A = this chain, B = another copy of it.
Amino acid sequence: MRLVIARCSVDYAGRLSAHLPLATRLLLVKSDGSVLVHSDSLSYKPLNWMSPPCTLAAMEPDADQADAGVIQIWRVAQAKTADLLVISIHEILHESAHELGHDPGLQKDGAEHHLQKLLAEQIELLGDGYRLVRREYMTAIGPVDLLATDAAGGSVAVEIKRRGDIDGVEQLTRYLELMNRDPHLAPVTGVFAAQEIKPQARTLAQDRGIRCLLLDYDAMRGMDDSDHRLF
Contacts and interface: CB of A to CB of B under 8 A. Distances in A.
Interface of A: 1, 3, 5, 10-13, 16-21, 23-26, 28, 30-32, 34, 36, 38-49, 51-52, 65, 73, 75, 82, 84, 86, 88, 93-94, 96, 98-108, 110-111, 113-114, 221, 227, 230-231
Nearest to A1: B40
Q: Which among A41, A65, A73, A99 has the greatest number of chain B C-beta atoms within 10 A?
A: A41
A41 B31 contact: yes
A93 B111 CA distance: 29
Contact of A3 (B3, B19, B47, B105): B3
Count this chain's copies in the assembly.
Answer: 2
Contact of A41 (B13, B32, B41, B45): B32
A100 B20 contact: no
Nearest to A32: B41
Given A44-B49, A75-B231, A108 B18 contact: yes
A94 B93 contact: no
B39 A43 contact: no
B3 A86 contact: no
26 contacts: A3-B3, A3-B26, A10-B105, A16-B111, A18-B107, A19-B110, A19-B114, A20-B103, A20-B105, A20-B106, A21-B105, A21-B107, A23-B100, A23-B103, A23-B104, A24-B100, A24-B101, A26-B100, A32-B41, A40-B102, A44-B49, A44-B51, A47-B105, A48-B107, A75-B231, A86-B231
A40 B44 contact: no
Interface centre among A16, A34, A99 (most CB of B within 10 A): A16
